Structure 1
Amino acid sequence: MSDVDHLQELSGLPAVDFEAGTAVVRPAAGAAAWRIGVEPYEDEDRTWEEEFNAFLDEVDPAGVRALIIGQWGESYDKDSSYPVGLVVAAADRLTSLEAVFVGDLVQEEAEISWIEQSDVTALLTAFPRLEVLGVRGGTGLRFPPVKHESLRGLIIETGGLPVEVIRGVQDSELPALEMLELWLGVSAYGGDATVADLQPLLSGTRFPALRHLGLRNSELQNEIATAIASAPVVAQLRTLDLSSGTMGDEGAAALLEGQPLTHLDALDLHHHFLGEPMERRVREALEPHGVRVDLSDRNTPWDNRGAEGRYTTVAE
């Protein structure tokens, strides 16, 4: 399953589809997160490069603050180095760019595991003032260690996140990073990290400014919760997101039996496999302290197979 939607906003700006040559009155260049995409069947005679060049001509590139890279062709034809390279080449014109999302595709366009990614750190190198970088799709994704002074938010959405990407993120120097969200996924689609591989992040020594941590969409959600229960990084967080995975009562119990979480503003556990008694325990432990708890989307295992029948929100 690939339960993802097109972005509705990026970096606080509403997503707006760019259409070349349209007579529709457009918002100001800096008032929207501009999504650029082409449909390979509907736009057979128009490439992503042509659409992007039209965007640079019709929208003041110096005012653009946020850019969403949508479908750039058939998922098997070109990887994301094609659109990323074009954006990087236009860095001298996109002088106000603050946020980029690479791969805003939904199931009708490509399953998340079919999106061919590349080395997205080229964007960080080209745009030293970039504050938010988002990526969807783990196939072919590379993230070698990078130093970047301005990046505040990093989101990587996958059905299976390669451990080498996690290592690259953890080994990067990102002193301004406040929000990190990783969709870890499942082993069947390339999610080969173990909880031990997350220890540098959980130690709290990597990103001193981190206030939001999301370790989501994992088939190891119970093990992650157990590690989080004693992880030093938790003390510096304001929000914690362990949603969309296979968490059951055992993971929630580990959270409650570990270090206090009452300093958090919010704990997101939506899409879970907790029973009603455990849901009540979590709420009673945290909500009186002002913690917003999301326990929506309770699920039951497939075919009554117990823990083996649990599933993540996003896989293929």
Structure 2
Amino acid sequence: MSHVEHLRELHGLPAFDFPAPGERRELPEAGAVAWRLAVDPYGSDSVEDFAGLWDRFFATVDPAGVRAIVVGQWGEPYDNDSAVIVQRLVDARDRLTALQAVFIGDLVQEEAEISWIEQSDVTPVLDAYPRLEELGVRGGTGLRFPAVRHKHLRTLSFEAGGLPGEVVRGVAASELPSLEYLEMWLGVEEYGGDAGVADLEPILSGGHFPALRHLGLRNSEIQDEIAAALAAAPVVAQLKSLDLSLGVLTDEGVTALLGGQPLSHLTWLDLRHNFVSDAVADRVRAALEPSGVEVDLSEPGDEDEWDGEIHRYTAVAE
């Protein structure tokens, strides 16, 4: 199955594709949907670039009512980074006065591999919208996230085949007192995912994000090391849900996690796409499900053998 799909909703609002030029569709109220803005630079009948789409959107939909924007393909991804999108959002801050959520890079494999999406420094969006509650980004290439202060951000997510350690350190050094949901796809070193457990330490130590209730450290080739660190990490006590899915998680990591601090206070533990034996999976279920913890151990991960060695893969890389 593909783990990179177009968003179906953002901030609790259904995603709605803003119509192409000449397409007749009844439009919803400005604040009733998450507006998906995207162009197809390869389409034979493409007559509009993203600048034209952006201007037409503002001329058609009342920007003062827009609550959520999903930015899809804005051009050829390997030629144009997201700095132009960030700047457009910054320039529109006096018009998008109700904006609560932004997602940048809603591209699927048919449009571009995740590593082809050229990102940029996305923190100016947070500076421009001090009341923004949700920011999501897909693609780690060129992504930057220097430490920021933001009082109202509640959800922050990064989907990448390789998330730069610099980004992880920037998040960990940020002051986000309202942050409840943090998700990071750490990825693999081959595609820029060079973060280590030490980079996560300010987050794992607990209290740095006092409102944090969900932590997702996903899609990592060092998933066992992360699980072992979480076994004693103070942050776990404040969580309601923990997501270690999509990575290279084995019996070693799960056994370390299970042998650490209690997890029975969680409502949900996501261990999908793993390399865990049936015996260890049964131990996890027996330990946690009687306490009401929903445990997901579905989707065995992909592996192969060559040169006498077993090679295991994260769900998303290139």
Q: TM-score, normalised by structure 2?
A: 0.96
Quick one: distance in 2 between partners of 1:307 and 1:290?
39
Q: Which of 246, 249, 252 in structure 2 is aligned with 1:250?
A: 252
Quick one: distance in 1 between partners of 2:290 and 2:26?
49
Quick one: distance in 1 between partners of 2:253 and 2:10?
31
Contact 2:301 2:315 in 1 (8 A): no
Quick one: distance in 2 between partners of 1:40 and 1:286?
49
SS in 2 for 1:273: coil
SS in 2 for 1:161: coil
1:36 aligns to 2:37 (yes or no)? yes
SS in 2 for 1:29: coil
Quick one: distance in 2 between partners of 1:82 and 1:74?
13
SS in 2 for 1:38: coil
- 1:208 maps to a residue whose letter is P
Give the C-alpha shift of residue 301 in structure 1. Answer: 2.4
Partner of 1:9: 9
Give the C-alpha shift of residue 206 in structure 1. Answer: 1.5
Give the C-alpha shift of residue 77 in structure 1. Answer: 1.5
- 1:250 maps to a residue whose letter is E
- 1:126 maps to a residue whose letter is A
Q: Which of 61, 64, 69 in structure 1 is aligned with 2:63?
A: 61
SS in 2 for 1:196: helix
Q: Which of 157, 164, 187 in structure 1 is aligned with 2:166?
A: 164
Partner of 2:152: 150
- 1:275 maps to a residue whose letter is S
Quick one: distance in 2 between partners of 1:306 and 1:292?
37
Give the C-alpha shift of residue 261 in structure 1. Answer: 0.2
Give the C-alpha shift of residue 84 in structure 1. Answer: 1.7
SS in 1 for 2:124: helix
User: Deviations along 1:218-255, whole A, 9 cap, x unmatched?
Assistant: 00000100000000000000000000000011111011
Partner of 1:193: 195
Q: Structure 1's 201 and 118: CA in aligned 2 closer, same or farther, altered over 3 A? A: same
Q: Structure 1's 34 and 296: CA in aligned 2 closer, same or farther, altered over 3 A? A: same
Give the C-alpha shift of residue 3 in structure 1. Answer: 3.6
In the TM superposition, 1:16-165 aligns within 5 A as: 16-19=16-19, 20-42=21-43, 44-165=46-167
Could you tell me which runs of 5 or more consecutive residues in structure 2 were left unpaired when the two chains were aligned. Answer: none
Could you tell me which runs of 5 or more consecutive residues in structure 1 were left unpaired when the two chains were aligned. Answer: none
Q: Structure 1's 181 and 306: CA in aligned 2 closer, same or farther, altered over 3 A? A: farther
- 2:136 maps to a residue whose letter is G
Contact 2:301 2:313 in 1 (8 A): no
SS in 2 for 1:309: strand
Quick one: distance in 2 between partners of 1:129 and 1:230?
34
Quick one: distance in 2 between partners of 1:305 and 1:151?
48
SS in 2 for 1:156: strand
- 2:27 maps to a residue whose letter is R
- 1:32 maps to a residue whose letter is V
Give the C-alpha shift of residue 74 in structure 1. Answer: 0.3
Contact 1:246 1:310 in 2 (8 A): yes
Partner of 1:231: 233
Give the C-alpha shift of residue 307 in structure 1. Answer: 7.9
Give the C-alpha shift of residue 195 in structure 1. Answer: 1.1
Contact 1:238 1:266 in 2 (8 A): yes
Give the C-alpha shift of residue 291 in structure 1. Answer: 0.3
SS in 2 for 1:146: coil
Q: Structure 1's 136 and 127: CA in aligned 2 closer, same or farther, altered over 3 A? A: same
User: Deviations along 1:181-205, whole A, 9 cap, x unmatched?
Assistant: 0000000000011111111110013
User: Deviations along 1:107-138, whole A, 9 cap, x unmatched?
Assistant: 11111011000010010011111000000000
Higher mean alpha-carbon deviation, 111-120 vs 292-301, is at 292-301
Contact 1:48 1:83 in 2 (8 A): no
SS in 2 for 1:140: coil
- 1:190 maps to a residue whose letter is G
Contact 2:248 2:301 in 1 (8 A): no
Contact 1:2 1:112 in 2 (8 A): no
SS in 1 for 2:170: helix
Q: Structure 1's 5 and 300: CA in aligned 2 closer, same or farther, altered over 3 A? A: closer
SS in 2 for 1:312: coil
Contact 1:181 1:214 in 2 (8 A): yes
User: Larger relative CO (CA 8 A, sep 6+): 1 or 2?
Assistant: 1
Contact 1:17 1:35 in 2 (8 A): yes
Give the C-alpha shift of residue 2 in structure 1. Answer: 7.1
